[in-house]
Amino acid sequence: MPVGCAAPAVEQSVFIGSLLIADAVTARFRVDQVLSGSVEGFSVDGMIDVRYGDEVRFLEVGVSYIVGAAVDPELGVLASTVRAPAPLFGGNEIAGIDDADVDCPQIDSPVRTVLLDGSSVETGVFTPLRDAERQILRSVLVPIGVAFAVLSGLVVLKHLLFALGRSLRDLSVSGKPSLIGRRRRHGAATSKLERF
């Protein structure tokens, strides 16, 4: 490493592990193979806990990963990350951020968890929802269906009540339904036709 450049983080261990269980911040792996470093002092019966913080939600139980982990200086436990570090806005173009004449090499942090093929773990915003398509659709369509059924029922009830009211009104006036209104309409229509 050239003089004036920051040394990259050093990993405690890199291993291939299958995710057994995860809670809100920690993942427990079954260690299948140690690639570098040592898991001594952190492994119990072939299992090892790695702290991820809120990034643990992107890992899937039963999937194997290549895990690069380092000791967290504050907590004293193994820690890793899923996301690649985001570049600073503007990078080295920001005035005064890199006034040194030394060109430092860009070295990716080994403290990261990736898939077995070396590709990054999917960390999109909607990634946790991709397996819940049916539940999401149901949560949208069921309330719409219930609202439509209730409104349809209210419309049918309204028409039934108006029809019942008209029938009772007609029965109370003459004792039987009246067709006078209909005859007058037909009579008016025939008188208009006779004029032409």
Residues 24 and 65 in one domain: yes
Residues 111 and 147 in one domain: no
| pLDDT value, residue 152 | 96
The token duo for 119 is: 């590709």
Q: Give pLDDT < 50 ranges for the chain.
A: none
| pLDDT value, residue 129 | 65
| pLDDT value, residue 52 | 92
Residues 29 and 116 in one domain: yes
Residues 177 and 147 in one domain: yes
Range of the structural domain that residue 172 is part of: 136-195
- Beta strands (DSSP E) in the chain are 13-22, 26-37, 43-44, 47-51, 64-71, 78-79, 113-115
The domain boundary residue, chosen from 66, 93, 124: 124
| pLDDT value, residue 64 | 94
Record the pTM.
0.56
Q: Do 121 and 115 contact (CB within 8 A), yes or no?
A: yes
How far CA 108 is from CA of 9, 32, 74, 105, 138, in Å, comes to: 9, 24, 23, 10, 43
How many domains are there within the chain? 2
Render pLDDT for 5-44 as a digit per residue (tens, 0 to 9). Answer: 766 666 688 999 999 999 999 999 999 999 988 888 888 9
Residues 116 and 158 in one domain: no
The domain boundary residue, chosen from 124, 153, 169: 124
Q: Do 124 and 24 contact (CB within 8 A), yes or no?
A: no
The domain boundary residue, chosen from 124, 159, 182: 124
Give every CB contact of residue 122 below 8 A, 6+ residues apart in sequence: 58
